[in-house]
Amino acid sequence: MDFEKRLKHAINKGRVAKDEELRQDVGKKMSEEEFRNLHLKYRLELTDHIDGCLKKLADHFPGFQFKTLMGEDGWGSRITRDDVSLATGKKVQSLYTRLEMLVRPFTETHIIELVAKATIRNKETYNRSHYQFVAEADIQSFKDLIDLWVLEFAEQFSFQS
């Protein structure tokens, strides 16, 4: 086979491979309903994990109140605690502590988003968010992040108490 024939063969082979890839991509495209269902599945899994972590945290620090959150901002949980500072020679002060984690509702951007807000003794500790595209989401990485944020809160709260 001379070079010209091999060149044409290579070009045709490349075009056939591209056409096959396009056909597979079309098959992989998810419908809006499939995105919603996948988001719902991930949201349920993550909110269960959030509930478990925050309940365990509240068990280790008496005085925290646990609340499940469901609303237009998202689904998740919150723990809160009110303390009073009675330092000698200082004014009596009310101290507010909370940790809140939510999974945001489904949007047309097709992402799953986790948000967390932490306040310890009236000072904001962190306000974070993390997201991934639903079609590419790695739920274990979200769970690891939830664990990390809860552990960070626990360490900082125990240090400041």
User: Over the chain, what HEC string results?
Assistant: CCHHHHHHHHHHHHHHHHHHHHHHHHHHCCCHHHHHHHHHHHHHHHHHHHHHHHHHHHHHCCCCEEEEEEECCEEEEEEEEEEEECCCCCCCEEEEEEEEEEECCCCCCCEEEEEEEEEECCEEEEEEEEEEEHHHCCHHHHHHHHHHHHHHHHHHHHHHC
Specify the pTM. 0.78
pLDDT digits (tens, 9 = 90+) for 27-67: 456 788 888 999 999 999 999 999 999 999 999 998 999 99
- What pLDDT band is residue 26 in, cutting at 50, 70 and 90? very low
